[in-house]
Structures are given as structure tokens and as C-alpha cells.
Structure 1
Amino acid sequence: MPDRPIRFLIVDDVAENIMALEALLRRDGLVVDSARSATEALELMLRHDYALAFLDVQMPGTDGYELAELMRSTERTRGVPIIFVTAAEMDEARRFRGYEAGAVDYIFKPIDPMILKSKAEVFFRIGRQAKDLERQRDEMQEIARHRDQAMAQLKAHADNSPLAFVTLDRDLSVRSWSKGAERMFGRAAGDLLGLPATASGWLDQGGADLLHDWLDCRRDDAPRFSAELSLDHADIGPISCEVYGSVLTDGAGRPTLSLQLLDITERKQAEEIRALLIGELNHRIKNTLANVQAIARQSLRQSASLADFEVSFGGRLQALARAHSILSDATWASAPLDQLIDDQINSGTLDADRLRRSGPPVELSPDTMLRMALTLHELGTNAAKYGALSSVDGMVDLSWRLEGGALVLTWRESGGPEVRAPQSEGFGTTLISAAGGGDPAAVSADWRPEGVVWTIRIGDGVTRMAAPEAVAAPGAAAQPRPRSLKGCRVLLVEDEPLVALDLRFELEDAGATVTGVARSVAEAMEAGRDASAIDLVLLDGNLKGEPVDAIAAMLDDQAVPFCFVSGYGREHLPAGFDHAPLIEKPFRPDTLRSVLTGLLAARLPAE
């Protein structure tokens, strides 16, 4: 190893000669070994590396010349410098033999200390330089090993990175093209290396001008830049990329541009879609509010009393809310007409036992769905008040067909009281007429004595469903016999103050007692601990962003009946509580009372 000391070897059969040479050679950083015979010397040379060997010429057995020849015949000892030590006069023949055996010099006895030290100094320095060179060699090898590891790691990162790494020279010719660049742009490195980036169409002229500006920047440090560029993909054309550039210099001092590129095509598309969705959301919200405003105003104008307004406006608002829920489940794409009809049945607007429906499976666009929801609500409400559904034997036939891409829907009533055409059109008739999308000729009413027949033609927003699905007409839900809420103790769990106030008013108007209003999970858990003080709980589906699973589980454990009151659909409510009814916001007072009395009636037999 490079940190080992420098060693000299003395080979002499006379111990006093060895001691004398050791004394003269002694110095820091030098180890002097000695051997009394050629055999000992060869054993030492197999264990250590020597910078110089002093060999006595005259030794019994194997003399110095023979030992030198043995050293030269072995790879390990061949390079050890040899100085012969002798007391004999040297003739040319003997001197030649010594040099032929590998000697570099002679020292004659008696030894001159100055000559010995000066010659030894030369080989000590050579040995030290050799050690330094070994150390430097090892250090360079270690540095090279670390460099190779770092280069391999960097290449692996570059090849596996989602970024593309590209290096361009002063003329924007491609000098390096990573595996990530091959994946990102569908172009092999072999097709681009050495060629101008604009020649292949990968970089357009505008991008080339920008990169030239980066290269022309005069600064002492390595300037760094960033921009968004459109770069060409071999198969799909231009893609949007974020480009980060650093101006560096190569070994010859020439500027190069190191680029890191990130494909942001999906992000740009997402941003465009988000902007479009926000615009569409704003549009839908404003349209919805405008519709609610119009419904409120017109309902108020044509209501005989505040109670009539509450019933008509609440029913229409509920129809809109349920249609929104259907569209939300369909991510505001088209939704089936049959699903809208089922929703009218579930809400109580239509009676499944007295409704016959037929027609091909079709889907309605969001705008058409919302108009049709109001239309069916008005038709069902009018039939229940004045038409076929106001009589025990009355029936409604609802059929539809497709004609040239348009939907023709027929509402036919029969079995009810004698029908007469109204003297004037009310707001309900206006809502029914709106189903035609504003075309007055698209909606017509035939006021037959045996029952009115409405014909509605919808030209836009109708699509035949690709795979017809069997529609099971739901039977009439077996509602428990209504029981009075008078004296019922109710806990409200609701974080919206106005909604809580409205619920409290309706409950107290029905004769119930509101024991408290909990606006957080912690408050609800505390208020619900005493189950004996509560008959019923109205539970919001979410309290200030917190889920209400723990509250529902506690109420189930205590056998306290509860229902959800929420703007969420069933799929967004706590799982495992499907037995708890759902009252959707905004709620109808009659629906609220019906659901709560049903819960109480279901509990009474067990008590």
C-alpha cells in the first residue's frame, strides 16, 4: 500500500558489516531489513517490496552475483535496484558480470559513509516518489470509480426520468438526446445527433430564436432560463413543454445549452377543461338561480295565499333539486327519461299503480332533463288536483316515441272527473309548455271531457340509448300509517343556521319539541348520549367538512331512529346506514312530516 515505509535490504554473511551499514543508513521513513544468506534474502523479498538491495559479493554458498541472477529471473524481484558491496579489487570481467547480473552500482570496502549516504539518498527519493505515484494512482482510480458511478447514476436518472434532457451547441445542433427525450418526442437519438434541431422540425423558428437569445446572454455565471415552447412529436405533432435551460461551456470554451423539458400537454388540457367547467358551472348556477327566481315570482303571482305559494313553489323547487341529483349522478351528461319518471313516482308526484308508461329507452341532455322534470311535476300535480289522479279510478297513460330524431311524448288522462278547458293559462301551463324548448307549436293540449291529452315534441337533447335496459315499474311504496309528531322530542344535527331554523319551525309547527341543535360532531355526540331524552334525530350528511359516521353509529347502538337531511346523494352518505331515510335538501314540508311520522310508526310496535 502507498502508506507503507520505504525498505532497503542488506544481504551479508558477516553480522558486523550488516550492523555498520544499518547504522549508516538509519533515517526517518526508512526500514532496513537484513539477511545472512541468499535463502533468507529471497524469503524477505517474497514478503516485502524493496527500494534498494545491498548484496555482498563474497558469500559462502550462493554469492552476490548468483543471488542477483536469481532476483532477475523472478517477476516480483526483477525490478529491485542492486548495489554490490565488495572489498576485492574489480577487474573489467568481474565488473561486467555484476552489471550483467543487474547491478546499478558498486560500493567498495572500506565504505565511505558520504558515498553510501549519497547513493542511498537517491534510491530513497526514488522509492518515495514511487510511493507517491502509487498513492496518486490509487486516488485517481478511486476518483475515476466515483466518477463512473456518478455518471452511471446520472445516466440512469436521465434515462428513467419523466423529463427529457437535451444538449444543443452554439448552432443549435443536437449534441445529446436522452432516453426520456426519445419517449417524449418519439424520435431516436441516432436520427438527431449532430443535426440542427430545426432541420427535423422538432424546433420551430420561434423557438430557435428564443434559444439563440439564451445563448447570447453575457454573464459571468451560468445563466438559467425557462419558457413554454411548442415542440414537435414525431407521431402526434406539436406538444406543449416547459423548457428549463442552462448556458454552459464545453472543454474548448464554446457555449452549450443544456435543456430539461417537461411535457405539460395534459396539464394544459386540464387547465382548459377546468376553465371551461368553471365557465359552465357559473353559467348553470346563474341559469338555475334565474329559473328559481322566475318560478318564485310566477308562483307568488298566481297563488291565492301564502300557503298555496309554499306548496307550489316548494314542489317545483323539489322537482328541480331531484333532477339535479340525477344529473349529478350522471356527471352532468345525459340521463334516462325512465329514471326521471321513477323519481316523480318516488317523490309522490305520480302514483305507480295508476301510471301506464311505454316507449323506447332514451336519454335527455341536462337542459332538457331540467325542463322535463318541471313538466312532469306540473302534469302530475294538476292530475292530482283536478284530473284523473283526483279520482280513485283515474289512470294516466304516458307514452313516447322517436320521430326523425325528435321525442314525441303523450300524456293521456282517463277515468277522472269531466274535463273542461281552462279559461286562462296559469304558470303551471307555462312550465309544461317550456318542455318544447320555447317553440309554442311543440306543446299542445286536447281538453277532452274524458281526460286531457298533452302532446309534447322535443327536438333537441334526446338520444336513443345504445343498450336498452329493462325498466321495472316500481310499485307503490308501502308507507306506514302516519302518526302525529305532537310531543315528539327531536334533536337537530345541522351546521347551516338558516336550514336549522327552517327545520325547527316545521317541526314545532307539527307539534314536535326540538330538544337542541348540534352544529358539530362533538356537539352531536354529547347531545346524543342520553337516548332516553330523544325520540328522533335529523342528521346532516356532513358537518363543517367532518363525516358523521360516528354519530350514525352511536344512534344505531342506542336504537334511536334517525334520518339524513342532506344535499348529498345516498352514495356520499356514511356507508352501512341504508335503513335511515334520506330527506334531500331543499326539503318539502310534507315530505319531512311523512318521513318522520313513518319513522315513529315503525318504532311503536317494538315498544
Structure 2
Amino acid sequence: MNDFFASAVAGPPELPARVEPRGTVTAKILAVDDDPRNLLAVREMLASPGIEVVTAASGPEALRLVLRDDFAVILLDVQMPGMDGYEVAGLIRNRPRSSRVPIIFLTAFNKDDVHVFRGYSAGAVDYVFKPIEPLILKSKIDVLVDLYRKTEEIRRQGEEERRLLLENLRVRGEKLKAEQALRRRDEHQTLVLGALPIALYTASLEEDHRRLHFTNDSISRITGFAPEDFLRSLDFWETRLHPDDHDRVIGALDMAGQDAVTLDYRWRCADDSERTILDHLVVIRDDDGRPREYFGMWLDNTDRRQLEQQLLHASKLEAIGRLTGGIAHDFNNMLAVVMGSIELLQRSLGDNKSAQRRADMAMEGARRCADLTNRLLTFSRRQSLQSSVTDLRILVPAIVELIRRTLGERIEIDLDIPEAVWPVFVDRSQFETALINLAVNARDAMPTGGRLTIAVRNRPETAPEGEEASEMVEVSVADTGEGMAPEVLEHVFEPFFTTKESGKGTGLGLSMIYGFAQQSGGRITIESQPGEGTTVRLVLPRTDRAFDGVAEVAAAGVPPPEGNGETILVVEDDPDVRQVAVSTLTNLGYTVREAANGDEALTKLRDGGTVVRLVFSDVTMPGPLTGVDLAREVRRLQPDIGVLLTTGYVGEDVRLDEGVEILPKPYQTQDLAQKLRGLLRSA
């Protein structure tokens, strides 16, 4: 070992300087020797750019370094205490990561063939004997370092190629995904454009700018014409414009110039039907900003235009409803004065038949006015249902007589109603309106005359096992008219749907009847075939409620029940209406007190005078208390006092507490007397 040190100190012959290329891999060389002087000599011999010499003083230390770093060459002394070079080389070769690292044994002894063979068997690639010639060691190390660097370069090139391949695959994958997403978007856009009532087109900027080049097939679905039909002649589009829209649309196009323009017009399609078209076109410019062509879009706006017209129609009906509701209260108050005064007059006429006949005629006219107001409220849907137990044997024949006068002589009317018909709980006015509407529809379906059959029958209905069978009453209206096709029959109950000419129907009749049937707990069905007439069946549930007797008693001419001096407080802000009510109640045998508003009524109830049995109050009154509020206060302060409300307009916003009854104005003495007697009995 000392010889090795001496030769190293003497210094190696001068070697040409080795210039390492830029980017050269640094090669680590591990020198293992128990003599630090030998390690210092190796470091001095091999020191050069691109080479890092790492030293270890023992075999275990060398093994720890091999586990930590990768080395280009390992210089391993054979004779070391503890663990010799052969054992260290064997352990290095057994580790996969370091199994291919070249090992050069350094030795001053053991130069015989047996030891050399043992060294090669342990994994050495070469032997260098001490004293070492620096030039020989340096040459061998350079060869192995070059081999390491070339191997490392090949490895790095392989890794780079693999990285580039993976990057290429990633880019190709992203490109494929982008292409698939673009294709899906195009397909989705095509499906959306195909489903929407939209057709796209281009057109020239020249005089033939209305020769439209449609770019999708939606135009066929909208108009029935193929895209090539629009190219056959210059005036194809223009000749199918609605005459009333022609001048306006052509003028707008001429004024548009090179700006965008939106047109709305009616256009005649292949089947001669008219569609409302929303036509929006813009100017497309080239890269220099010069106008190149028109790009346009056709949108079938027919359904929207119809909805707008229906909305306008509904708005008009709403306005009618507001107007009707506004005047109904005052008008019915006036009728209450008229009808009440006539009834009082009738009682005083005695045997004067001529005067009695004139009074009866005046009463009939007043009743018709009241009925007209009620129908207007019902039509405008400003009237809540006023249901009562109804005997159709009495009501239907009366309506049929009105229908006979309405339909004229060309329509023969048959009424089929048995003696035993179950009662129903319905709004009589709504029922009458429904039956008249059905009869008018039947008349319109028989323009040259025909037969109308109105029938009433009991209709027991079976129910599924475990459920109670229902009992219904069916009112059918059958005509011998033109009938309806199945596609028309599907829409007859839709609001605003009508087959009549413009101005001859609102499209609300059957929808109102449908709503009335639903509100009454029943249903309506319709059967029709083209050329075989139509039958509409209104099915209503049987009621078990007791008759209030008002209609039946009035029809029988029975005098109204009179009072026995009970005190009734009349609350009414209109002095004329209040005076008629007071006179009527006085004639019926009641003691009457008066109040002009709710506050005055509460004051009279609290004064402790005459015991009031019932409060008869108007609903709409000036002041903080309405009739409904007054009813709540009366029931809170004196629950034993009955309350009967009356009004000329029962709006949808009127919410009555349970047990509070209402009598619509104008009322007749019979109606008022029956209501009072029933409330006083229950109180």
C-alpha cells in the first residue's frame, strides 16, 4: 500500500487535458481503501471535470454508499480489515441495482493466478496492481466512464423517447376527445335545429335577395316546400306573402339596406294554410368589412301569435269581468229596491187583477235583469259557486222552455225526464248556463235544422271491490248535427279552442262547463263521429242533503213563513235598500231595528235594549267593518245571535266563516223568509 502511495506522490506523467462536452453526465467513482493516503492519491489521479470521486474507508461504508448512489466504476482494495474486497464485491453484485457496475480490484499482494481468478469470480472486470501507474489507471477509468456515459445517454434517450411517445399519445387522445366533443356538439346542434321550428338561409345582396338558399330541412316541416322550391323563380317567396302584409314587408326590406332587419308576416304554405313567420336577416361581411351576403332565420311564430291573441282575448274578458263585478253590486242593490217594492205593492193590490198583472210583469222583468247580471258574472268567472240542493225535475223543464225560444223553430227539442230523479247539489245559475251553452253549440252544429234531445236519468255506478258504489245523475244533450273528427274531439275542453269562424265563438263554453262539472264533484264526457251528431253527458253526484225548500215553495205558490215578533237588526248602508228590507221584514211579522254600518250595529247590540235574535247585514259597507267582519264580531260577542249576510256581488275574495250564510241580491220575499226561519230555528 505504501508503494501505491509513493507512486501517487511522485505524480503521474503529464496527460493531455480532457475537455468534457457541455451537458455531459457526471460520473461518480467509488474508491474503497482502508488507508486514507491511498484514497487521497486516487482522488488526485482521477480528478477531472465531469468526474466525482467518492471515498470509503471500509466495506460496510462502501455498501452504504452503493445503496444510496449510482456509480460508474468502483475501485476496491482487496486487503481490508473486517470485510475484504472479495466479500464486498459479492454483496455489490447480489444487489440488482448495482449488479452491473464495473469493479476494479486494487492490490499489492495476491498477484498469483488463484487470487486473480477469485477476484474475477467475485465480479471484478479488471485488476490493477500496486504500485499503480497513474496513466494505466486513468486510461482504464476513462474507458469505463465513457461506457457509463454512453449507457446513461442511451437510457436517457430512451426515457425521452418514451416521454415523447406518451406525450404524443396524450395529445392524440385529447385531440380525439376534442374531435368527438365537436362532433357531438354538431350533432346536438343539428338535432336542436331540426326539432325547433327554425329554418336557416342565405341570400344574395343583389336584386334577387329574396331567392332564399335554405341550409337545413326544417323549411319543409314549416311550409311543406323543399329548399329547392324557393330557387325556381325570383318571385316565389313574394307571391305567397299575405296581401295585407305585402307592402309593409317589401317596404321594410327596401329600407333595410345593409343593416339587420326583423320582419313578421303571414306566408301561404304548400297546403294553402297561413303561418306567421318571424324573419330575421343580417348582413355577413368579408375579411375587409365589405358586405358579402345575407344570413337569415325563419321562425314559425304561428303558435306564439295565436297565444298572444288568446291572451289579448283573455285580457278583454278580464276587463269585462272587472267591469261586471264593479257594477254588479250597485245594479243588484237597485234591483233589490225594485223587486222588494214590487212585492210590497203586490201585497197591497188586493183583488185588482189588472194592477196585479202589471205588477207581475214588472217583477218578471226585474227577475230577468237579475238573471242577466248573474250570467255576466258567471261568464266572466267573477261569481263563486252558490250551490244548493236542486230538483232537476223542476229546473230542467224551465230551462228547456227558455231554450225553445232561443234556438228557433228549425230545431225540434225532445225532453226525456222520468218522475223519479235524484237531487243534486249544484249552483242553479251555473247549471242553467251550462245547459244553454250545450244547446247553443248543438244548434250551431245543425245549420239546416235538426233534433235536440235533452234527457235526465239516474245513473248508479259500480265501484271497485272494497269501495262504496256511487250514485250519479246524468244530464245528456244529443244532437243530429255534423259531428266532430277525433282530432277536434281531443281539444274541445281546452280554453279558447273553437272550430267556429272568427267572431262567432270564444272557445270558452265547454271549458267553463268542464270547470263547473269538476267544481260540482262530477264530470263531463263527449261522444261524436263526423256526420253522426254529438252527445254530451254531464254527470253529477247525487246529494243526501235536505232541500232548503225555497225553489219548491216558490214554485208551489205557498205563502212565505212569517215571524213571531222576533227582533232582527238590519245593517245596510244604502237607505233605499235598507228601507225595503225593513218594510219586508215588518210585513213578515218581525220587529226590526236599523243600522247604517258595522260600527253602529255593534253599538246597538251592546246598548242592552231589545234582545236581537238575528243580524241581517250587507257585505260591502263603508267604514272599517265589512259585513264579514261584523259577522265575526257578533259571533264572538254573542254566539247565540244568528247572522245572515246579503250582497249584490259575491266575489271570489269573500271568505265566509263556517255557519255564516249569504243571500245574494236581489232576493225575493220567499227566499228571505225561508232563510230567516231556518236560521232562527237553528239559533
Fold-level similarity (TM above 0.5): no
Give me the TM-score of the superposition, normalised by structure 2.
Answer: 0.39
Structure with bigger RCO (C-alpha 8 Å, 6+ apart)? 2
- Over alpha carbons, which structure has the higher Rg? 2
